[in-house]
Structure 1
Amino acid sequence: MSYWKRLLPHLRTLPEDVTSELASEVTSEKEDHALLTNKEESFVTYSNLKDEVSFVGSGLNQIRKGIPYELRDEAGRKWWKFFDEYEYRFNKEYKKSRFWYEFLYPNHTTRGAAERKLLYKLDALIALYFLMLSWSHSVDSYNFTNAYVSGMKEDLNMKGNDYVHTTTIANVGAIVFQLPFMFLLPRYSSHLILPLMDLGWTCFTFACYRANSLGEMQAYRFLLNAFGAAYYPVTQYVMGCWYAPDEMSSRVSLFFCGNMLGSVTSGLLQGRIYDSLDGRYGIAGWRWMFLIDAVAISLPTVILGFFLIPGIPSKCYSLFLTDEEIMVARMRNKRNQVNDGVETSKLQLFTDRKLWKKVFCTSTFWVLVVFDTCSWNNMTAYSGSFALWLKSIPTYSVTQVNNLSALPASLGFAYVIMCSFGADLFRCKWVFMVFAAVMNSISCAILIKWDVSSGAKWFAFLTTYFSVSASPCLWSFINDFLRFDPQVKAITWIAIYSFSQSTYAWIPNLAWPTTESPKFKTGYTTSLVFGAIYGLWTFVVLFFYKRNEKRHALGNGIILYNSSKGETPPEFVHTDMEQRNNYFYLK
């Protein structure tokens, strides 16, 4: 490879890639033999264990060398174990293999420095970059609200519900242009998809500064969001390929922190720009913000993304990960039953009915659709109601409105970190999701009442970001549900997200009409209803999640049987495994 090409992202081919390709050809007709893919871990697939498969469900039926297995008798299982979220996801050895303060960087069974070093690098390459990307997109998005209250409304002659209609038009652009990524995501690397789409986002952010009419602004916002269509699902798809389920929520929280950081900086920057640049060179202050967004914020993230996004472990394009770290990432995925990629030639045809049945004819899809739809529509935080309420108070200047509008998002950092880091620390997402739903419901109830003290109203507005705080846990759930088939994962992610966002495109028109500003009684009532359903639906999701993991318990390192039903440990435990330190290992 030419020297200059080594400075650009390129597909990393490891020795094991060639070995596994040759081995797969030799053993294609010997599915019951061991397929050795690397020096540290091997798989034995038992194709003749029909009796054993019946009691562990339809799991991957793979017993892996070097992995400790827990033999668990289900007899006498207590009812409260239903609330143990990871009861079937991790065995006892996995759960005890870290100290509580190591929850961000657990080593689990490997106990090696390589895994910890890999996680450090992933946090820098993926988590922190996606925080930066989220911040960039959020600044651009929130700036529309800040621009509206900083002179854009008057300059573009916006009246009535023009504000919410423009937001809806922008959302339609994102929804429509998400759909092609069902096809593109499993086939093309994210280090190309995201930067190219962000380049389009940057161009139309720049274009917004020169809009001279409402129709022109609406066209730019539509196209801007069309190029931002890949932003949410692609970032979460990538994170789900690199992080373990008990590491995910805390990393996704950085993504949401970037979103809130955008809200904070958008308000503060708009206030500063309005004071210092309004009218400079004949350009209004709100126009300066769009211009600065594009040139100084969005464009640098486009360039960085091309070099920092590593693709996925099985098709890695990173310039910064070593061969050993890539192998460690692949082994982590094998242990966690994460199938991150499939060769393009082995993907099902996009028009194959069987593929679409895998997506839409499963309970998982519909359970997650309801969950994500409620999550989208309970978010009072993104309604712009706080800024519009401040604008309705005559004692606040434009600068003060912009500065104070940053307060809820600033507190939102604490809410998101508490819920997401707590979920990984205690390995229990559902508790924090229900807590966030309760807090959001209290906030909405106060604002529905409206005729309350000023302090109560401030409390309600400053707690609106509880409607966002549990989203990292939700996305972690979705990633774990969909980890087995990358093609189904891509289609399901986009389908769930598109359906949920499509409801967010028309519900705000009914629930948050600008003419009801600043009370928005309909909007707060709608958020309260969706928030209450969201909290209750968490238990439905927990039920389906645990049922799914019980089916894959063997792949999770748990050998199940129930002596109260006359079952005994499967035969392979005695013939093919040996006991060490209360756990069973493949001989």
Structure 2
Amino acid sequence: MRYLKSFANLRIRSEGAIAHPRNLKCYFPHLRVLPEDIVEDNTDHNSSVIEEEYHEEGKNKISDVESTATEAQNSEVKSLKLQPGIPYEVRDEKGRKWWKYFDEFEYRANSEYKKSRNWYTFLYPNHTTHSKAERTLLYKLDILIGLYFLMLCWSKSLDSNNYTSAYVSGMKEDLKMEKNDYIYTSTISNVGAIVFQLPFMYLLPRFPAHIILPCMDLGWSWFTFACYRAKSLAELRGYRFILSAFGAAYYPVSQYILGSWYAPDEISSRVCLFFCGQLLGGVTSGLLQGRIYKSLNGVNGLAGWRWMFLIDAIAISIPCGLIGFFAIPGIPSKCYSLFLTDEEIRVARARNKRNQIKDGMSKSLMPKIWSWKLWKKVFLTPTFWVLVVFDTCSWNNMTAFSGSYSLWLKSNPNYSIVQVNNLSVLPACLGFAYVFFCAWGADLFRCKWIFMVFAAIMNCVSCAILIKWDVSSSAKWFAFLTTYFSVAPSPCLWSFINDFLRFDPQIRAVTWIAIYSFSQSTYAWIPALAWPTVESPRFRTGYTVSLIFGAIYGLWTFVVLYFYKRNERKHALGNGIILYNSENGESIPPFVDTHMQKKGDYYYVKEEKAE
């Protein structure tokens, strides 16, 4: 009866009928229960793939195919998870060309998947379910997730950039900040974010993100508000530390959610929206600070930089946090959304099945967080350390977020405070173009690595010019205006990580936060050494460090590509590709003849005859 009642409430909401006014629950997002979810056991939603697994215990009863080695009767039984209705490509690797190493999607998608979209529909492909509901789902997700995370990232970036804007707009003098106080305060703030990320290894796969994230955002908003009243440097540092602690969940939780809804050739464009919010914060912070300093400086006895924190908290951060309770839909297998229909949720689950994305699982099936089995899967996997190096280089080659450009402008006596704030937005404005170029190009051409390498080269050129320093004014402006190429490949990087970790939701949560915490921990102390404020405005050490990390980042992309291709070849069957190599004496696997039938150019699982 409990399930039927929940289902009845769901039908009222999803069919658009007017619910009873006293039933307030129907106006708030809670767990969506579909008819097929009403079962007696706690079967994981993602394991509801039509599959039949010939294990000795025979637990899955839907449609898996078993391949038995033909050499000996006692050979080990292989369990193959083949999905009915999905086209499979049989591919002979004989004579495979060396340059196929650079084909990122060689094993990630079969030829049918690649051909099932026109190039101009790369943002909204329809190549999984071939239904109108799939594109409608993508439209809704871009509003609910993409635009919301853009707005939320803008709010957080605005506050982070406000710290720099406030520093050059009077906060330095008011709080008597000297020497390296600027960078040390940033470091203390980063420590708060790193430490308080760790609990989300446990919380993220177990509790709904549409509750966790908005609550953390409201805490962030409150301490953003508190920054306006800081009377001393110590007080400001305390507020910034707690503020960052509340913001610790944002990056890993948002990427976890994005990776649960989007396909591998869609996600870079959506992470792009996320980073556009970050860039938008850089643009609007300088413009708002310049306008506020001019209009409100001294009003009611408050300095202009204090007004910026007030407006940021009350008018921007708090509304963003409240919207999150309704905008974040959870994950397809455990959806919390007022705006998605039952059919769209089914489509999302079908997309994840084809893309081998396991977005969630029952709590009872998860290993304990202190289980050695869990941590062994994380730390004893080469992929983890490959991604740690990759993300660490990404964090520490970001010249764009060093504040060096604003401090260079401030050092020029020809620019007023208002002009400094207005000019400070130029690199971030160009950064929009750089991020879109890399992220959309990656999804359009299904090739992330080439855009990552190109961005790394541009970043190295920018740093090299600034290391030289004694160059023409135009060369120096070119260098500063291209610093955001250090940020541009980040959507591609995070898309890579999501694709690596799509097979196990708990491993994904733990690994995401472990990678992010490790990388960010280096960002807590490396900038303090590389970008000491006393070296302003030249920062020779900082640009040298960024150049080194940028060069490693570009070269390491090929290492990541190697492990990615190796991983996808291992899971090629799940991607709709049946591999063999006739050059090595291999033939088409026997299960193709026994359990599949050819239709056109592709093979399909044989349909069972009704009894």
Superposed displacement of residue 61, structure 1: 2.8
Superposed displacement of residue 469, structure 1: 0.1
Superposed displacement of residue 109, structure 1: 4.2
- What SS does the aligned partner of 1:394 have? coil
Match of 1:419 among 438, 452, 455: 438
Residue 312 of structure 1 is matched in structure 2 by: 331
For residue 28 of structure 2, what is the amino acid of its counterpart? L
Superposed displacement of residue 162, structure 1: 0.1
Alignment of 1:151-550 (within 5 A): 151-550=170-569
Instruction: Identify if the C-alpha distance between structure 1 residues 339 and 147 changes in structure 2 by more than 3 Å, giving closer, same or farther.
Output: same
Superposed displacement of residue 581, structure 1: 1.2
Contact 1:430 1:539 in 2 (8 A): yes
Instruction: Identify if the C-alpha distance between structure 1 residues 517 and 62 changes in structure 2 by more than 3 Å, giving closer, same or farther.
Output: same
Superposed displacement of residue 45, structure 1: 2.3
Superposed displacement of residue 50, structure 1: 5.6
- What SS does the aligned partner of 2:361 have? coil
Match of 2:33 among 4, 9, 13: 13
Residue 565 of structure 1 is matched in structure 2 by: 584
Contact 2:53 2:64 in 1 (8 A): no
Contact 2:53 2:65 in 1 (8 A): no
Contact 1:369 1:500 in 2 (8 A): yes
- What SS does the aligned partner of 2:266 have? helix
Instruction: Identify if the C-alpha distance between structure 1 residues 462 and 29 changes in structure 2 by more than 3 Å, giving closer, same or farther.
Output: closer
Contact 1:185 1:490 in 2 (8 A): yes
CA distance in 1, matches of 2:432, 2:200: 30
Contact 1:242 1:312 in 2 (8 A): yes
Match of 2:105 among 79, 86, 96: 86
Instruction: Identify if the C-alpha distance between structure 1 residues 20 and 60 changes in structure 2 by more than 3 Å, giving closer, same or farther.
Output: farther
CA distance in 2, matches of 1:12, 1:31: 32
For residue 505 of structure 1, what is the amino acid of its counterpart? A
CA distance in 2, matches of 1:119, 1:170: 36
Instruction: Identify if the C-alpha distance between structure 1 residues 214 and 558 changes in structure 2 by more than 3 Å, giving closer, same or farther.
Output: same
Residue 575 of structure 1 is matched in structure 2 by: 594
For residue 31 of structure 2, what is the amino acid of its counterpart? L
Contact 2:198 2:517 in 1 (8 A): yes
Residue 133 of structure 2 is matched in structure 1 by: 114
CA distance in 2, matches of 1:30, 1:79: 37
* 2:147 matches 1:128: yes
CA distance in 2, matches of 1:397, 1:428: 44
- What SS does the aligned partner of 2:534 have? helix
Contact 2:124 2:135 in 1 (8 A): yes
Superposed displacement of residue 345, structure 1: 1.2
Contact 1:59 1:555 in 2 (8 A): no
For residue 159 of structure 2, what is the amino acid of its counterpart? D
Residue 39 of structure 1 is matched in structure 2 by: none
Give the alignment's TM-score, normalised by structure 1. 0.96
- What SS does the aligned partner of 2:124 have? coil
Instruction: Identify if the C-alpha distance between structure 1 residues 213 and 235 changes in structure 2 by more than 3 Å, giving closer, same or farther.
Output: same
Contact 1:377 1:527 in 2 (8 A): yes
Match of 1:74 among 66, 69, 93: 93
For residue 273 of structure 2, what is the amino acid of its counterpart? L
Structure 2 residues without counterparts, runs of 5 or longer: 1-8, 10-21, 72-76, 607-611
For residue 217 of structure 1, what is the amino acid of its counterpart? L
Superposed displacement of residue 110, structure 1: 2.5
For residue 453 of structure 1, what is the amino acid of its counterpart? S
CA deviation vs aligned residue, 1:222-258 (integer Å, no higher than 9, x gap):
0000000001000000000000000000000000000
Superposed displacement of residue 34, structure 1: 9.6
- What SS does the aligned partner of 2:230 have? coil
- What SS does the aligned partner of 2:229 have? coil
* 2:64 matches 1:45: yes
Contact 2:52 2:63 in 1 (8 A): no
CA distance in 2, matches of 1:12, 1:344: 17
Contact 1:143 1:290 in 2 (8 A): yes
Residue 609 of structure 2 is matched in structure 1 by: none
CA deviation vs aligned residue, 1:354-410 (integer Å, no higher than 9, x gap):
100000000110000000000000000000000000000001000000000000000
CA distance in 2, matches of 1:6, 1:300: 22
CA distance in 2, matches of 1:50, 1:194: 49
- What SS does the aligned partner of 1:65 have? coil
Instruction: Identify if the C-alpha distance between structure 1 residues 311 and 465 changes in structure 2 by more than 3 Å, giving closer, same or farther.
Output: same
Contact 1:60 1:552 in 2 (8 A): no
CA distance in 1, matches of 2:235, 2:219: 17
Superposed displacement of residue 351, structure 1: 1.1
CA distance in 1, matches of 2:453, 2:235: 42
- What SS does the aligned partner of 2:211 have? helix
Superposed displacement of residue 111, structure 1: 2.0
For residue 36 of structure 2, what is the amino acid of its counterpart? E
For residue 173 of structure 2, what is the amino acid of its counterpart? E
Structure 1 stretch displaced more, 82-91 or 567-576: 567-576
Contact 1:132 1:301 in 2 (8 A): yes
Residue 551 of structure 1 is matched in structure 2 by: 570
CA deviation vs aligned residue, 1:255-297 (integer Å, no higher than 9, x gap):
0000000010000000000000000000000000000000000
CA distance in 2, matches of 1:76, 1:289: 63
CA distance in 2, matches of 1:22, 1:5: 24
- What SS does the aligned partner of 2:248 have? coil
Superposed displacement of residue 20, structure 1: 8.5
Contact 1:60 1:555 in 2 (8 A): no
Instruction: Identify if the C-alpha distance between structure 1 residues 357 and 223 changes in structure 2 by more than 3 Å, giving closer, same or farther.
Output: same
- What SS does the aligned partner of 1:12 have? coil
Instruction: Identify if the C-alpha distance between structure 1 residues 71 and 135 changes in structure 2 by more than 3 Å, giving closer, same or farther.
Output: same
CA distance in 2, matches of 1:551, 1:512: 43
Structure 1 residues without counterparts, runs of 5 or longer: 37-42, 53-57
Instruction: Identify if the C-alpha distance between structure 1 residues 265 and 51 changes in structure 2 by more than 3 Å, giving closer, same or farther.
Output: farther
Contact 2:53 2:60 in 1 (8 A): no
Instruction: Identify if the C-alpha distance between structure 1 residues 177 and 129 changes in structure 2 by more than 3 Å, giving closer, same or farther.
Output: same
Instruction: Identify if the C-alpha distance between structure 1 residues 193 and 126 changes in structure 2 by more than 3 Å, giving closer, same or farther.
Output: same
Residue 40 of structure 1 is matched in structure 2 by: none
CA distance in 1, matches of 2:378, 2:561: 20
Alignment RMSD (CA, Å): 1.9
Contact 1:59 1:554 in 2 (8 A): no
Instruction: Identify if the C-alpha distance between structure 1 residues 51 and 95 changes in structure 2 by more than 3 Å, giving closer, same or farther.
Output: farther
- What SS does the aligned partner of 1:206 have? helix
Residue 74 of structure 2 is matched in structure 1 by: none
CA distance in 1, matches of 2:38, 2:455: 48
Identity %: 71
Superposed displacement of residue 22, structure 1: 8.1
